[in-house]
Amino acid sequence: MTRAQKITEVEQSLAEVKVAISRIVTGGQAYGAENRTMQRADLKVLQDRQTALEGELARLQRKHRISTYGVAL
């Protein structure tokens, strides 16, 4: 997988996590449908995942610098 593909994959995952967080924030942790109660993913787990994905994305996007004797080239 190329670096660009990995960045795209992480960006998509991050977008999905943000949507899930938004659904919890606006609609609550649980919801009902057809006499059933459904539980959404845990907000804290999603927030932790968001933080991890943001860190991974920043790492992937960081420009590599080559240092020689303390001087960046």
CA distance 39 to 28: 9
The range of the structural domain enclosing residue 50 comes to 3-72
Q: How far is Cα 2 from Cα 12, in angstroms, rounded to an integer?
A: 15
Count structural domains, the chain: 1
DSSP string of 27-69? H-SEEEETTEEEEPPPHHHHHHHHHHHHHHHHHHHSPP--EET
Which backbone phi and psi does 67 adopt, to 5 degrees? -105, 135
pLDDT band at 6 (very low <50, low <70, confident <90, very high): very high
pTM above 0.85, yes or no: no
Distance CA 22, CA 28 (A): 9
Local structure of 21: helix, strand or coil: helix
User: 10-64 pLDDT, tens per residue?
Assistant: 999 999 999 999 999 998 877 777 888 877 789 999 999 999 999 999 999 985 4
pLDDT of residue 72: 57
